[in-house]
Amino acid sequence: MSERVPENIVICIDTSRSMVRTDYKPNRLIVSVDAIKKLISERLAVDPNSFFAIVKFSSKAKKLIEFTNNKEDLYDVLDDLEFSGNSSMGEALGLSIKMIIAELRKIAAKTPHILLVTDGIYSKTAIDPMKMARLAQGLNIKIDSIRLGELSSNNILKKISDITGGKYYYNNDGETLLRSAHNLAESNIKTYGGGIGSLIENSVFLRKIAADLLGVQDLTKDQEQRLLQIRGLADYKKCSICFSDTNPYTKSSFYISGRYCPSCQTPYHIHCLAGWADSQKDAKMRRAGAVRCPHCFYLLKIPTEVTQIQKFKTLAKPSIHSKKQPVGPQQFDAEIVNFDSDAMFSSCPVCSMIFDDGERIVKCGNCGTLYHEHHFRELKNGQCKTCESFLKL
């Protein structure tokens, strides 16, 4: 008996007006729903540990249900789909990737997968589908695609599947559509090598997907309450590591250096959390600048300002080989680099946007942070936003 790999599968289904066409009886959307139900039913019959989420897209993309293996709940969502608007395929892929990243941060992440079900007609929006495909490729997320309708010279669905290593199915009637669903249901046979396990061991990948801690202001939206916090008149939760409001490292209040886990909302001083991470002696996590929440094991990003302080303290310690070590920001060279696997799933710290193939990208010679060239030239004194080194291009 073949061993199966449990997957988290986001089903992106097109509900735009073009899916009302009746070249597939009774129409494109209904036969697509039937095929998706077959996929869900057959997959859960052989692997109940696979989970599905559903995203629909027309003029806007919308998450309809989180990851679940409850077949009835999934069917109910599919039965309520309605036609409307245009097709925002890029936005749907972006939302799907965001949902998968949230799952990858959990301690027992499943292999990620996206299934795109559409006739291939899409609207040009701010989010380009091919840009999302390159992002998915960098995160090792395969995008399978089921295409309905007429073929065109610009077969974007095949391009998306090819670039991410997914499968592309063209279906010219309801019967072949159901056959494609059956093949996908049977497709998670375990193979050796690669997969999500090898990525989780990669410190660069861990840093990319780790979640930012939440500040006090992120949890409290009421302006009057926020004013009380700024004045120090409101109560705060205490750090769950040192059990104090006052940061034992910086002596600042929790409002200044306190953060919350975005998954379980457990409070921590950022320095206490960094100290706890260091005590675990996990070299992979240390290289990634990441840590798992001591309470819920959600993957968290240690703020850059804390890791840099730790580096400067290390530099400041006297060495047996040298009486004096340099401290503080230093000057390094920056360089123009090509679009590669690092740039594929990095983002510019100035604008927080990912990079496109063909763009001029500048790399910090100290920490490796990547910038759009025009944003790099806007940096004050050429100082890197990540490591604070002064850069010369």
Residues 191 and 97 in one domain: yes
In a domain, 338, yes or no: yes
At 7-29, the pLDDT tens digits run: 999 999 999 999 999 999 999 99
In a domain, 323, yes or no: no
Spatial separation of the C-alpha atoms in residues 4 and 1, rounded to whole Å: 9
Q: Is the peptide bond before 329 cis (omega within 30 degrees of 0)?
A: no
Among 290, 316, 342, residue at a domain's last position: 316
Torsion angles phi and psi, residue 299, rounded to 5:
-75, 120
Among 316, 346, 378, residue at a domain's last position: 316
Residues 188 and 209 in one domain: no
Q: Which two tokens stand for residue 253?
A: 């209040």
At 241-262, the pLDDT tens digits run: 888 888 888 888 888 888 888 8
Q: How far is CA 273 from CA 89, 105, 250, 270, in A?
A: 39, 17, 13, 5
In a domain, 325, yes or no: no
Q: Which two tokens stand for residue 245?
A: 């409001």
Spatial separation of the C-alpha atoms in residues 313 and 296, rounded to whole Å: 30
Alpha helices in 139-202 (DSSP H): 156-164, 174-185, 195-200
Domain that holds residue 62: 7-195
User: What is the structure's pLDDT at 232?
Assistant: 54
CATH code at position 223? 3.30.40
In a domain, 134, yes or no: yes
What pLDDT band is residue 2 in, cutting at 50, 70 and 90?
Answer: low
CATH code at position 169? 3.40.50.410
In a domain, 1, yes or no: no
196 vs 164, higher pLDDT = 164
Q: Which two tokens stand for residue 312?
A: 């400067």
User: What is the structure's pLDDT at 213?
Assistant: 82
Residues 358 and 236 in one domain: no
Q: How many domains does the chain have?
A: 3
Residues 377 and 359 in one domain: yes
- 3 state DSSP class of 119: coil
In a domain, 321, yes or no: no
Among 316, 343, 372, residue at a domain's last position: 316
Question: Is this model's pTM higher than 0.85 or not?
Answer: no
